[in-house]
Amino acid sequence: MENTYAALLRHLIKFSGIKLSSLADFIGYDVSYISKWCNNINHPSSKYLTRINTCIASFISDEIVKQNLTYVFFNEFQINLSQHVSAEKIKKFLFDEINNMLFEAYYRENNTVATDENPAVANNCQQKTIIGRTNIKNFFITEIATVLNNITDDIEMYITGDIITLLDKQLFFNVFNFSSKNIDIHIGCNIQKLSNENLDFIDKLYNLFNHYIEITFHIHDDKKFQYSNIITVKNHFSLQYSLHNDNLIDICTYITDKTISADIYERTCEKFTADTYLIQPINDIELIKFRSFFYLNNYLLLFCAKGFEFFLPPQAFKNLLSTSTTYQYSSDMQQTIQNMQITWEEQFEKAHIDFILPAANIMHYIEEGQLSYGEIAYTTSPQERELQLQQLVKSMKNNPHINIFLLGQVQPYNKDSYFKLSYYSNNKTAYLKKDATFCSKNNKNIYLIKDFRLLYKFNDFFSTTIKKSDCSKFTADDIENIYKKNNALLHRIWLQSKQPV
């Protein structure tokens, strides 16, 4: 009698001459599972043991009867017949004997056996399964959150789950407070589902990017991996899970074994390719030449979350351009920046441009003068801001299709309440730009939107924003009157900030 389940299973398979692949197909498991059972790496889960043993016994007993090896089998496995068994009942008897042998071998190892449900016994707790959504929720809040929050080196994470579902169910991100300064998270998105989503999804997506401004998100079409159900973090752990029909996780297996987790990571990340990008993070410098063509379109929608880099007077732009040498821009790149400024000036005369400015943002800019022009951080002087305002009014009078919308955001009281993500669209191409103030130097600060469905939804989202009750439209006359009325106040603010007027 074999002492272990693995030894017995190997003996049964060898005796009957069946193939592992044939047995695996019959049971409905991958052949790798059967191989692990035979090699005593894992054992079947106790939860499914009855079905598995029944299938094995049925498949092997059928094969033994077909080969007319029944009595040879009894002799091989030292089974004594206490009574004569008819030919009609011999198969049932054979099945019962094999099934009983499997159960006895399984439980003979008692609680020391590693199973698919609890393999940690055999590999020093490097793998465990959590069952039940409440248990899984607690597991994410405690163990997973603790692991991720304590990682200080770079984090590279791949999530095959759908971003729409994650945001809808408020799963995963809301329990983390990352310590790492360099975090890349790749997530799938179901294109078919995206087409049917309303603007609530864009609101949630923008808020996710805005809240976790220091994280670099990569959004991919999930066509290559939508059934994988994997979360994997390079050099740390992997999770495999199953979803209930309400899209909540009801079973997940947590794997910390370095070899297995690394294999899962490699197999998963190779499915996230350049051609699957829906939203791709890039460096601002990569976008400079692109912007010259971007602003040639006759419709622009611009949500400015930091400063106001448009309508700069010539002297301010000259000073800004000289600052570009600090960023090691080549002469060719500086020429591109100049060309972009010329393009802007031409567009200000004819294009339809909707500027959306958070009230707190524009007040801060009027007081401090801080803006971002590409990767260049620049602070305008009070004189430059005054000339910029005058140029804005002049351009709006010359081109009535330039609109200023002021979003009545309350004064931010902490880092989380700021708008930190700008949006630029020309109706054909669009991108989101991070406020570098909130990011580390290694962050990619541009999200290039590469899918037209996402672009249209973002456009609709911001177009809807200007129709809300807390968003006010200002004409050239409105701005001019406000400027004249508050001119003295503005100069006092600038004097108080100790900047030369």
Domain boundaries, the chain: 5-116, 123-280, 283-496
- First-residue to last-residue Cα distance in the chain: 97
Q: What is the pLDDT of residue 2?
A: 67
Higher pLDDT, 245 or 108: 245
Predicted pLDDT at 416? 67
Per-residue pLDDT at 377:
84
CB atoms under 10 Å from CB of 55, counted, come to 17
pLDDT at 124 over 60: no
The torsion region of residue 28 among left (phi > 0), alpha (psi -120 to 50) and beta comes to left
Q: Say how far apart CA 299 and CA 392 lie, in whole Å.
A: 18
Beta-carbon contacts of residue 270 (< 8 Å; ≥ 6 apart): none
Residues 6+ apart with CB under 8 A from 1: 77, 78, 101
Number of H helices, E strands in the chain: 20, 17
Task: Please indicate whether residue 405 or residue 441 has the higher confidence score (pLDDT).
Answer: 405
pLDDT of residue 57: 92
- Reply yes or no on whether the pLDDT at 276 is more than 60: yes
Whether 123 has a pLDDT exceeding 70, the answer reads no
For the chain, state the CA radius of gyration.
33
Does pLDDT of 500 surpass 90?
no
pTM (2 d.p.): 0.72
Q: Are 245 and 117 in contact (CB under 8 A)?
A: no
122, pLDDT greater than 50: no
Residue 410's pLDDT band, with cuts at 50, 70 and 90, is low
Report the amino acid identity of residue 403: N
Quote the mean pLDDT of the chain: 85
CA gap 208, 416 in Å, rounded:
11
Q: Do domains 123-280 and 283-496 have the same CATH topology?
A: yes
pLDDT of residue 112: 43
Please give the average per-residue pLDDT across 424-435, as a whole number: 93
The pLDDT > 90 percentage for the chain reads 41
Of 296, 406, 431, 425, the closest CA to residue 351 belongs to 296
Amino acid at 320: L
Mean predicted confidence (pLDDT) in 254-274:
91
DSSP label at residue 196: T
Q: Given this model, what pLDDT does residue 108 score?
A: 66
Nearest alpha-carbon partner for 290 in 437, 428, 444: 428
- pLDDT score recorded for residue 354: 95
Asked which of 281-290, 293-302, 375-384, 390-399 is least confident by mean pLDDT, the reply is 281-290
Q: Is the pLDDT of residue 125 over 60?
A: no
3-state secondary structure of 460: helix
Q: Is the pLDDT of residue 425 over 50?
A: yes
The most confident of the ranges 183-187, 245-249, 361-365, 478-482 is 183-187
pLDDT confidence band for 114 (50 / 70 / 90): very low
- Tell me if 234 sits within 8 A of 270, measured CB to CB: no
Over 60: is that where the pLDDT of 264 sits? yes
| % of the chain residues with pLDDT over 70 | 91
Residue 183, H or E segment: strand 183-189
The DSSP H or E segment spanning 424 is strand 421-425
Residue 121, pLDDT score? 42
Alpha carbon distance 21, 8 (integer Å): 18
User: What's the pLDDT at 438?
Assistant: 83
The confidence score (pLDDT) of residue 191 equals 92
Q: Greater confidence, 323 or 387? A: 387
Instruction: Please give the Cα distance from 362 to 493 (Å, whole number).
Output: 14
* Local structure of 17: helix, strand or coil: coil
The pLDDT tens digits of the residues spanning 460-475 come to 999 998 998 889 999 9
pLDDT tens, residue by residue, 32-53: 999 999 998 888 887 788 889 8
> What is the fold, at CATH topology level, of the domain defined by 283-496?
Endonuclease; Chain A (3.30.870)
Q: What is the CATH number of domain 123-280?
A: 3.30.870.10
pLDDT of residue 468: 87
Task: Compute the distance between CA of residue 408 and CA of residue 216 in angstroms, rounded to an integer.
Answer: 28
Q: Average pLDDT in the 190-196 region?
A: 91
Give start and end residues of each alpha helix (H) in 300-451.
Answer: 314-323, 331-347, 359-368, 382-398
Residue 411's pLDDT is what? Answer: 61
